[in-house]
C-alpha cells in the first residue's frame, strides 16, 4: 500500500503534497470547473461562492523520497534538483518505500535490484562494498560506499571505514560512470550517495519491531514534528538497536541515534542540523574460506560454508562513529540560490582477527595468524554552491559554481603474530588462548583536497546540454614509524588534476530523451614506486550513449545506455627481478564496454515493477602481471539481471512481492583459469494491515520478508589472497518478520 504524507488545510495549502499528486489534483479541478462552467454562468453574480486563493507548491525531490517505488527527480548527478528524464547520466534511485518493502539492513542490500552494480560480492555487516560498472575489488582495493548527503566520507588507513545504516536514510541515489567534476576523488564506475532523513514539518510517528532467523532482533523508531505553530522549527529523531548472528555464528550488534533540527525563519532561508551517533560493538565474521574445498575439490571433502576460521573469543571489530552535519539554503531571489553544507566526523575502531590459509591442499589443516589494529579518524568536509538561473537570448542557463574542501587525519597501530594455531576443517575445535599481537608499526595519514567546479545546464527548446569543469588539488602526508627499530619515514604527495564533462540531450514530446555524454574521474594513489616516488593519480574517461523514457504523469521510467569506460595509471606488479612481490608500477589499464537497462513502472494501480539488465565486457588492456593482459578483472561478472514485482492484492489491506536476482560467473584469478559459478536467488514478501482485523489495531502492519528463499548455497566471489585464493560465501536464507506501527 502506498502511504502518502498527510497535509494540513491552511487556505487550501497543498505544499506538502508530492509534485505528481499536486498536478493531478490541479488537472482534476480544472476538468470539473470546465465541465460545470455553464452551471456557474447561470447563477447570479452575487451568489457565486468566493473561494480562498489556492497555493500550489510542488515538492521537489532534492532529498525527500517520493511515495512508492519510482522517483521522478534527483540532485545527485547534477547537484541541482533535476528531473531524471532530463538528466544525461545513468542514475537509479532506491526509495524509502523500496527499502521498507524489501526489509534491507544495509545499503548493499538496497542496491540488489539496481543495474550496473554487484553489491554483495563480499557480504558483511561491517562494510558496504560494491562493484560499479566492473570497478571494485577486495581488501585495500575495495570500493566502499562513501558518500552521505553529497559529501565524501573519510576512511582510516586499514579497517576503519564508516558505514551508514539504511534505517537513517530517506533514499539512495546511484550514479554510474565518472563524476569527478562535481565530487572530486571518485571511482570511475560511479558513486552511491546515501541521503539521510530530515525534519519535514509534519507529524511523523513510526515504530518497527523485527525478528528473524540468525537470532535477528531489532527495534527502530522514527519520530518528528513541527515545534511551533508558525512552522519555523521542526525536529526529527531516528533510532535503532539490532542484535543478530552472522552465518558462522559470530555476534552482530548495532546501536544508532540520529537527531535533527530544521529552522526555517522565512520562505527563502532554511538551516538543517543533524547528528549521527552509531556504535557497532560487534560486527560478525569477515573472513573468507580457501578455494580448495569450496570452489575447487578437496580430496578429504568440502569445507562447510559456515566454518568459523577464527577464535570466537578473540575475534573483535568494535567501531564507533559520530558526526555533526549542517546545511544552509538561502534564496536571494527566484534566480539566485546559495547552499552551504558540511560535516565533521570522528570515528575509532578496534580490530582483532585470526585469518586462515590452507598451505597444503592435500590435507585438512588450516594454519592461522592473528592480527590487531587500533585506528582513529577525524574528518571535516564542506561544500559551498551558488546556483544562478539566467536567460541569454533563447537559451536558459542554470549555472552552478562550487567550492569543495576536505581534510582528514587517520592514525593506526598495527601488529601481526606468527602463523600457527592449526585448525582441522573436518573436526574444528576452539578455545585457544590467543595473545594480542604486539603493535609493530605506528602510522599517520593527513589528507586535504580543495576543488573548484563550474557547471552550466543549458536549455534551448527541446535541447538540453550540460558542461562542467573542475580543478582539484590534493595533498597526502604519510608518517610511518617501525616500533621495533624506531625507524621513521615520511612521504609527501601533491596532486593537481583538471576534470571535465559534457552532455547533449534531446527531449521528444512523448517523453523519450536520447543523450550522449563524456565524463572523467581521478583517484590519487598513496603508494610509492621502487625509487620511493609517489605514483600519479589513476584517471578514467567514459563515453556513453543512452536514452530515457519518462512520460509525464504516467508512473513510468525506462532508461538504457551503452558505454565505453577506460581507466589508466592502474597499479600492477613490478616485473623488475629481485624486487619484493608487493612492489608495484603504474602501467596498467582496464577497459569496460557495457550496456544497461532499467525499468520502473506502475503497471496498474495495484502493481509496481522494477527490472534491470547489465552486460559488461571488462578487459585488462595493459599489465605486467604474467597472463593478466587481455583477461577479465577478478570478481567482475559479465551479466547481471533482476526483476521485482509488488502487488497490492487488496489495496490498504494485503500486499505481496516477489523478486529474482541473477549474477553470472566471474573470474577468481588474474590468469582467468578459475571461474566462480553464477547464481540466481529468489526473494519473497507479504504484508497485511492489521486494522482490517480489528479497529483497535489501526495503523499496524505485519510483514514477512524472505531473501534467498530457496536457501541456495553459493560463493559470491573469489580472489587472490595472501596465500592461494580466498572465497567469500554468499548470504544464506534470511527471513524477517516486522511489526510496523504508525500513529
DSSP sequence for 45-80: GGGS--PPPPB--PBP-SSPPPSSS---EESTTTSS
- The gap from C-alpha 71 to its chain's centroid, in whole angstroms, comes to 16
Distance, in Å, from the CA atom of 155 to the CA atom of 440, rounded to the nearest integer, reads: 21
DSSP assigned state of 691: G
Backbone φ/ψ region at 96: left (φ over 0), alpha (ψ -120 to 50), beta: alpha
The pLDDT value given to residue 729? 95
Distance, in Å, from the CA atom of 346 to the CA atom of 342, rounded to the nearest integer, reads: 14
The pLDDT value given to residue 7? 32
> What pTM value is reported for the model?
0.89
The pLDDT value given to residue 39? 34
The pLDDT value given to residue 139? 83
Q: Determine contact, residues 175/160, Cβ cutoff 8 Å.
A: no
Distance, in Å, from the CA atom of 549 to the CA atom of 599, rounded to the nearest integer, reads: 9
H helices within 612-684, ranges in order? none
- The gap from C-alpha 682 to its chain's centroid, in whole angstroms, comes to 22
| CA angle centred on 575, ends 572 and 580, rounded to 5° | 85
Distance, in Å, from the CA atom of 40 to the CA atom of 49, rounded to the nearest integer, reads: 10
Beta carbons within 8 Å of 672's beta carbon, 6+ residues apart:
627, 631, 632
Distance, in Å, from the CA atom of 187 to the CA atom of 134, rounded to the nearest integer, reads: 11
**Cα–Cα separations (whole angstroms), residue 8 to 16, 58, 231, 236, 358:** 8, 15, 12, 19, 66
DSSP sequence for 425-492: TTS------PPPPPP-EEEEEEEEEEEEEEEEEEEETTEEEEEEEEEEEEEEEEEEEETTT--EEEEE
The pLDDT value given to residue 186? 86
Closest among 592, 601, 598 to 612, alpha carbons compared: 598
* Domains located in the chain, CATH noted: 204-742 (2.40.170.20)
In degrees rounded to 5, what are phi and psi of residue 440?
A: -110, -10
Backbone φ/ψ region at 158: left (φ over 0), alpha (ψ -120 to 50), beta: alpha
C-alpha cell at 10: 491552511
Distance, in Å, from the CA atom of 638 to the CA atom of 169, rounded to the nearest integer, reads: 31
Distance, in Å, from the CA atom of 385 to the CA atom of 216, rounded to the nearest integer, reads: 43
The pLDDT value given to residue 60? 59
> Is residue 659 within a helix (H) or strand (E), and if so which, with residue range?
strand 654-663
DSSP assigned state of 296: B
Please list the ranges in the chain whose pLDDT falls under 50. 1-59
Beta carbons within 8 Å of 700's beta carbon, 6+ residues apart:
689, 690, 691, 739, 740, 741, 742
Per 3-state DSSP, the chain is made up of helix, strand and coil in percentages (nearest 5) of 5, 55, 40
The pLDDT value given to residue 19? 38
> Is residue 684 within a helix (H) or strand (E), and if so which, with residue range?
strand 679-689
In degrees rounded to 5, what are phi and psi of residue 34?
A: -65, -40
Biggest CA-to-CA distance, the chain: 101
Exposure b/e, 536-557, CB count within 10 A at least 16 = b: ebbbbbbebebbbbbeeeebbb
Distance, in Å, from the CA atom of 498 to the CA atom of 491, rounded to the nearest integer, reads: 23
In degrees rounded to 5, what are phi and psi of residue 71?
A: -85, 150
Q: Determine contact, residues 13/55, Cβ cutoff 8 Å.
A: yes
Distance, in Å, from the CA atom of 169 to the CA atom of 646, rounded to the nearest integer, reads: 21
Is 49 buried (19+), middle (13-18) or exposed (0-12) by CB count in 10 A?
A: exposed
Query: How many helices (H) does the chain have, and how many strands (E)?
Result: 5, 37
Tally of CB atoms within 10 A around 736: 21
Distance, in Å, from the CA atom of 504 to the CA atom of 161, rounded to the nearest integer, reads: 37
DSSP sequence for 370-430: EEEEEEEEEEEEEEEEEEEEEEETTEEEEEEEEEEEEEEEEEEEEEE--SEEEEETTS---
In degrees rounded to 5, what are phi and psi of residue 114?
A: -105, 145
Tell me: the pLDDT tens digits for 583-635?
677 778 999 999 999 999 999 999 999 999 999 999 999 988 888 899 999 99
> Within 13 Å and on the Cβ side, how many CA atoms surround 673?
8
DSSP sequence for 347-361: EEEEEEEEEEE-S-T
Exposure b/e, 130-165, CB count within 10 A at least 16 = b: bbbbbbbbbeeebbbbbbbbbbbbbbbbbbbbbbbb
Show the beta-strand stretches assigned E in 483-537.
488-506, 512-523
Amino acid at each position: 500500500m502506498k502511504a502518502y504524507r498527510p497535509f494540513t488545510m491552511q487556505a487550501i495549502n497543498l505544499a506538502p503534497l508530492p509534485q505528481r499528486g499536486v498536478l493531478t489534483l490541479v488537472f482534476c479541478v480544472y476538468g470539473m470547473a470546465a465541465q460545470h462552467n455553464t452551471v456557474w454562468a447561470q447563477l447570479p453574480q452575487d451568489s457565486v461562492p468566493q473561494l480562498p486563493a489556492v497555493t500550489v507548491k510542488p515538492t521537489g525531490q532534492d532529498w525527500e523520497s517520493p511515495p512508492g517505488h519510482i522517483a521522478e527527480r534527483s540532485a545527485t548527478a547534477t547537484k541541482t534538483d533535476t528531473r531524471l528524464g532530463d538528466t544525461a547520466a545513468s542514475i537509479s534511485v532506491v526509495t524509502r518505500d523500496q527499502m521498507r518493502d524489501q526489509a534491507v539492513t544495509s545499503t548493499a542490500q538496497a542496491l540488489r535490484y539496481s543495474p550496473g552494480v554487484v553489491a554483495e560480492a563480499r557480504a558483511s555487516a561491517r562494510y558496504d562494498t560494491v562493484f560499479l560498472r566492473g570497478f571494485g575489488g577486495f581488501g585495500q582495493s575495495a570500493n566502499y560506499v562513501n558518500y552521505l548527503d553529497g559529501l565524501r566520507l573519510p576512511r582510516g588507513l586499514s579497517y576503519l571505514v564508516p558505514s551508514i545504516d539504511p534505517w537513517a536514510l530517506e533514499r539512495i541515489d546511484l550514479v554510474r560512470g565518472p563524476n569527478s567534476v562535481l565530487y572530486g576523488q571518485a571511482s570511475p564506475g560511479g558513486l552511491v550517495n546515501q541521503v539521510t532523513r530530515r525534519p519535514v514539518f509534519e507529524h511523523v510517528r513510526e515504530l518497527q519491531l523485527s525478528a528473524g532467523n540468525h537470532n535477528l532482533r531489532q527495534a527502530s523508531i522514527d519520530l518528528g514534528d513541527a515545534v511551533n505553530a508558525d512552522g519555523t522549527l521542526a525536529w526529527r529523531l531516528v533510532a535503532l538497536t539490532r542484535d543478530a548472528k552472522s552465518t558462522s555464528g559470530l555476534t552482530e550488534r548495532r546501536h544508532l541515534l540520529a537527531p535533527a533540527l530544521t529552522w526555517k525563519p522565512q520562505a527563502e532561508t532554511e538551516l538543517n542540523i543533524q547528528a549521527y551517533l552509531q556504535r557497532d560493538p560487534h560486527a560478525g565474521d569477515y573472513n573468507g574460506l580457501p578455494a580448495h574445498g569450496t570452489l575447487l575439490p578437496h580430496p578429504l571433502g568440502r569445507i562447510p560454508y559456515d566454518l568459523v576460521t577464527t577464535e570466537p573469543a578473540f575475534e573483535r571489530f568494535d567501531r564507533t562513529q559520530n558526526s555533526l552535519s549542517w546545511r544552509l539554503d538561502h534564496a536571494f531571489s527566484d534566480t539566485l540560490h546559495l547552499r552551504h553544507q558540511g560535516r565533521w566526523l570522528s570515528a575509532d575502531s578496534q580490530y582483532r582477527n585470526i585469518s586462515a590459509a590452507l598451505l597444503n591442499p592435500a590435507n585438512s589443516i588450516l594454519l592461522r595468524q592473528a592480527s590487531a589494529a587500533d585506528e582513529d579518524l577525524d574528518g571535516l568536509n564542506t561544500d559551498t554552491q551558488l546556483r544562478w538561473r539566467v536567460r541569454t537570448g533563447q537559451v536558459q542557463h542554470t549555472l552552478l559554481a562550487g567550492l569543495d574542501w576536505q581534510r582528514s587525519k587517520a592514525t593506526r597501530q598495527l601488529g601481526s603474530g606468527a602463523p600457527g594455531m592449526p585448525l582441522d576443517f573436518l573436526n574444528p575445535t576452539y578455545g585457544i588462548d590467543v595473545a594480542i599481537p604486539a603493535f609493530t608499526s605506528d602510522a599517520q595519514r593527513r589528507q586535504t583536497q580543495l576543488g573548484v567546479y563550474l557547471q552550466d545546464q543549458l536549455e534551448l527548446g527541446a535541447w538540453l546540454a550540460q558542461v562542467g569543469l573542475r580543478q582539484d588539488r590534493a595533498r597526502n602526508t604519510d608518517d610511518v614509524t617501525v616500533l621495533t627499530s624506531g625507524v621513521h619515514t615520511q612521504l609527501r604527495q601533491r596532486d593537481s588534476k583538471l576534470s571535465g564533462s559534457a552532455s547533449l540531450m534531446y527531449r521528444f514530446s512523448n517523453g523519450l530523451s536520447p543523450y550522449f555524454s563524456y565524463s572523467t574521474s581521478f583517484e590519487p594513489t598513496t603508494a610509492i614506486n621502487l625509487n620511493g616516488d609517489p605514483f600519479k593519480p589513476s584517471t578514467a574517461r567514459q563515453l556513453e550513449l543512452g536514452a530515457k523514457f519518462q512520460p509525464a504523469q504516467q508512473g513510468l521510467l525506462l532508461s538504457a545506455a551503452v558505454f565505453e569506460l577506460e581507466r589508466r595509471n592502474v597499479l600492477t606488479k613490478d616485473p623488475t627481478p629481485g624486487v619484493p612481490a608487493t612492489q608495484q608500477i603504474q602501467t596498467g589499464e582496464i577497459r569496460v564496454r557495457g550496456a544497461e537497462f532499467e525499468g520502473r513502472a506502475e503497471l496498474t494501480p495495484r502493481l509496481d515493477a522494477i527490472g534491470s539488465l547489465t552486460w559488461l565486457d571488462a578487459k585488462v588492456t595493459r599489465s605486467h602481471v604474467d597472463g593478466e593482459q587481455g583477461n577479465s578483472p577478478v570478481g567482475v561478472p559479465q551479466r547481471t539481471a533482476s526483476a521485482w514485482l509488488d502487488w497490492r492484492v487488496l489495496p490498504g489491506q494485503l500486499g505481496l512481492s516477489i523478486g529474482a536476482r541473477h549474477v553470472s560467473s566471474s573470474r577468481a584469478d588474474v590468469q582467468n583459469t578459475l571461474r566462480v559459478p553464477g547464481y540466481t536467488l529468489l526473494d519473497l514478501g507479504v504484508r497485511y494491515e492489521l486494522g482490517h482485523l480489528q479497529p483497535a489495531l489501526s495503523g499496524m502492519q505485519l510483514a514477512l520478508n524472505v531473501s534467498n528463499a530457496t536457501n541456495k548455497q553459493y560463493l559470491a566471489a573469489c580472489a587472490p589472497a595472501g596465500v592461494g585464493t580466498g572465497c567469500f560465501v554468499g548470504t544464506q536464507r534470511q527471513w524477517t518478520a516486522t511489526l510496523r506501527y504508525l500513529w
